[in-house]
Amino acid sequence: MSKKPIIVFEGVEGTGKSHHIKKVANYLKRKKIKFIQIREPGGSINSEKIRKLILNNKSTFNKETDLLLYLSARSENIEMIKKNAGKKIILIDRFSDSTIAYQHYGMGVDLKFIQNINNHLLKNIKIDFTFLNTVNQSNMKKRLSKRRKLNRYDKFDSKFYNKVQNGFLKLLKTNPRKYIKINSNLDLDVNENIILKKIKDLI
């Protein structure tokens, strides 16, 4: 495996994904290891513009328009990823698995349609490893109800997020060696240690 891997953090809302990516970034900074960090949608100037459009509460796009916007946001990051691949570690907060989990398993958009465009955009970009953050039903409900600043994608019911999470788990099963499931029902520091240990193996 590349010593400058592309590492993705996935999971439904409220699973601690963004917390963990921040911890990993802090570790790499402390160790003076070169990396870039992006989030999707977003992560570059143009992609952030598209993010605002998708997640704005006043937007009323249909599910296929949403898909195309998420992929547009990705398209604007491809150059940056290619430029850094193999030179710096790349940490990504959500990537292709989110598109399949949310737009296909959550919303029912055709899988082949998603894969065709996504594969076209990615060309030979390969994800080396994914941390999949999961949560159980009751914690999911609790955490969703505690969220304050809600965007358009924070407002689905827990049935939807459950379908999305099951979608993520199906993706993990297709290639289990490239994933770790992080059980966010456990203590945060237990998971921080699991993630950091794996990061040390990967780099």
Q: Which of 118, 133, 128 lies closest to 90 in space, CA to CA?
A: 128
Cis previous bond, 176, omega within 30: no
Scanning 82-90, 98-106, 176-184, 193-201 for contacts with ligand TMP by CB under 6 A, the matching segment is: 98-106
Q: Does 9 bind ligand TMP (CB under 6 A)?
A: no
Instruction: Name the residue nearer to ligand TMP (CB basis): 34 or 155.
Output: 155
Among 14, 75, 92, 102, binds ligand TMP (CB under 6 A): 102
Residue 55 to residue 194: CA distance in whole angstroms: 32
Q: Does 41 bind ligand TMP (CB under 6 A)?
A: yes
Among 4, 20, 23, 94, binds ligand TMP (CB under 6 A): 94
Q: Does 191 bind ligand TMP (CB under 6 A)?
A: no
Scanning 25-33, 97-105, 126-134, 165-173 for contacts with ligand TMP by CB under 6 A, the matching segment is: 97-105
Q: Does 98 bind ligand TMP (CB under 6 A)?
A: yes
Among 21, 23, 24, 70, binds ligand TMP (CB under 6 A): 70
Q: Is 24 exposed, middle or buried (0-12, 13-18, 19+ CB in 10 A)?
A: buried
Residue appearing with tokens 């570790």: 27
Is 13 within 8 Å of 154 (Cβ atoms)? yes
CA 36 to chain centre: 15
Q: Which of 153, 167, 183, 158 lies closest to 54 in space, CA to CA?
A: 153
- In the complex, what is the shortest distance from the CB of residue 99 to ligand TMP, in angstroms, rounded to a whole number? 3
Q: Under the rule (CB under 6 A), what is the footprint of ligand TMP?
A: 13, 39-41, 70, 94, 98-99, 102-103, 153
